[in-house]
Amino acid sequence: MGWVMKTPAGSFRANWRDPSGKERSRTFKAEDAAYAHIDKMESTKTRGSYVDDRARKVRFRDHTVRWLKGRHVEARTDERTMSLLRTHIIPKWGGWRLGSIDHLEVQGWVTELGRTLAPATVAKCFGLVSSILAAAVRSRILDVNPADGVVLPKTRSGRRAVALTRAQVFGQILPAIASPHHRILVWLAAGAGLRWGECAGMPWGAVDLDRGVLHVAQVAVETSHTVELRPYPKTEAGRRTVPMGAGLSAILREYREMTGNPSDRDLVVLSRVGRPMRRANFRKRVWRPALVRAGLLGEVHEAAEGRWRGAWPTADGIERTATFGSEHQAVTHVALHAAGGPRFHDLRHSYATWLVSDGLPINDVQRAMGHTRGSTTLNLYTHPSAGFEERIRRSIDGESADFLLTFGSDDPDDDGTAGVPLPA
């Protein structure tokens, strides 16, 4: 138990021992307050929720440094974390003492961020602050997390994934890509449902042309400075074997011979400088221009001899136009400035939609996609395919046409109960 001593100044010093046995003290003006504090300290020790008053004075910035040292995350995750801390979190909370941060202050900060940042960015910032404060609770610096119960801004419905048709992918986009090195990336995503990192990080040793399968394990992970090869995928379910169709197998066999039969350790696709391909470069230089040439993003046509006219939509839905001296200039400008358009990742959505539309069981599609749960495949990665309304009508009419459905009669004694199906 603790004890109370009266000081020469007339105040009362509460004395107690913390869970480690170290003696602690705090001075109060009233004797009752000193005893009440001792009771509180003893009670929290019994419940296992003891909090050191002096530790509550630690500044958020210093606690964050300790928190960062104990994390084990990928380089890309660490880069995103440090960016959010520098930009949005430390400028606000760095100088605050942990014990001074309360729920209303955190809620006000989140609300203020929501005025200028996207809801997803606000959620990431809040998630970091909440995790840092939760670590303070586990370290018994705080007794509760002031971030608990904070209401985040509602997520606005962003750009939705689309499912392209086979004709759009293989008949329009692929012919619009000149380099076979770049076409292979589209083939891997559309023909095997691979993620970008799985496409860019795949070595030839993972391509089994004899069995017609791809072994997905190594992935490319990008940071702002480099592209790293990670020997394991996004999730355990991501480590998988994906069957290849005859078309993809033939394309890869021909491509390997064309590139001089590289070793199993070499990547299937390399940049011009022999490094893993970067997503942003591919998107800007290859993917978006290919969409323009394929007629899936904006429009470019020859307006007069030597003059090309480009048209593109803005994010506000306004159509802009301009005239250029060459088709290349027009395509490049439209690709850079047009809003919307299919993403490379939509090829993966398209692959899943094709398989489900062709009648494959959802658990088989889930395995091919590398999803942990079938609900992810069904709810996020499959979309209505072209002509689905007519297929539904044919499906219903096919069996129903063989039956006569009666829905009551003209008999005045009919009680209104619907009839039952009768053989035609």
Give the model confidence (pLDDT) of 22-46 as tens digits: 888 889 899 999 889 888 888 877 7
Q: Tally the domains of the chain.
A: 4
| One domain, residues 123 and 174 | no
Please count the other Cβ atoms lying within 10 Å of the Cβ belonging to residue 5. Answer: 12
Q: Are 409 and 419 in contact (CB under 8 A)?
A: yes
pLDDT value at 229 more than 60: yes
| One domain, residues 110 and 84 | yes
Please report whether residue 188 resides in a domain. Answer: yes
Q: What is the mean pLDDT of residues 90-97?
A: 95
Closest by Cα among 268, 213, 204 to 245? 213
Two tokens, residue 230: 């990670």
CA distance 421 to 356: 31
Please count the other Cβ atoms lying within 10 Å of the Cβ belonging to residue 63. Answer: 22
| One domain, residues 28 and 61 | no
| One domain, residues 109 and 208 | no
Two tokens, residue 239: 């480590």
Please report whether residue 259 resides in a domain. Answer: yes
Give the CATH number of the domain where residue 193 resides: 1.10.443.10
pLDDT value at 255 more than 50: yes
Buried b (16+ CB within 10 A) or exposed e, 311-346: ebbeeeeeeeeeebeeeeebbbbbbeebebbbbbeb
| One domain, residues 179 and 270 | yes
Residues comprising the chain, all counted: 424
Helix or strand (DSSP H, E) at 390? helix 388-400
| One domain, residues 224 and 281 | yes
Q: What is the pLDDT of residue 423?
A: 47
**Where among 102, 120, 138 does a domain terminate?**
138
**Where among 50, 65, 86 does a domain terminate?**
50
| One domain, residues 113 and 23 | no
β pairing state of 12-17 and 23-28: antiparallel
**Where among 13, 34, 50 does a domain terminate?**
50
Please report whether residue 128 resides in a domain. Answer: yes
Mean per-residue pLDDT over the chain, rounded: 86
CA distance 264 to 241: 17
Strands laid side by side in the 23-28 sheet: 3-6, 12-17, 23-28
| One domain, residues 66 and 44 | no
| One domain, residues 113 and 195 | no
pLDDT value at 72 more than 90: no
Closest by Cα among 54, 46, 45, 129 to 89? 129
Give the CATH number of the domain where residue 73 resides: 1.10.150
Diameter of the chain measured on Cα atoms: 106
Contacts of 240 (CB under 8 A, 6+ apart): 216, 233, 367, 368, 370
Please report whether residue 283 resides in a domain. Answer: yes
Please report whether residue 356 resides in a domain. Answer: no
The pTM of the full predicted model, rounded to 2 decimals, is: 0.68
| One domain, residues 187 and 110 | no
Please report whether residue 349 resides in a domain. Answer: no
pLDDT value at 398 more than 90: no
Q: Please give the share of the chain, as a percent, with pLDDT higher than 90.
A: 57
CA distance 111 to 152: 7
SS3 content of the chain, % helix, strand, coil (to 5): 45, 15, 40
Angle, nearest 10°, between helix axes 346-357 and 180-192? 40
Per-residue pLDDT tens over the stretch 156-191: 655 677 889 999 999 999 999 999 999 999 999 999
Q: What is the pLDDT of residue 76?
A: 79
Q: What is the mean pLDDT of residues 224-242?
A: 82
pLDDT value at 355 more than 80: yes
| One domain, residues 177 and 105 | no
Residue type, 334: V
pLDDT value at 85 more than 50: yes
**In the block, residue with structure tokens 């300790």:** 66
Please report whether residue 307 resides in a domain. Answer: no
- Domain range for 73 is 57-138
Q: What is the pLDDT of residue 97?
A: 93
Exposure on the CB side of residue 95, measured as CA atoms within 13 A: 2
Two tokens, residue 389: 């309304």
Please report whether residue 381 resides in a domain. Answer: no
Helix or strand (DSSP H, E) at 27? strand 23-28
| Strand partners for 6 | 12
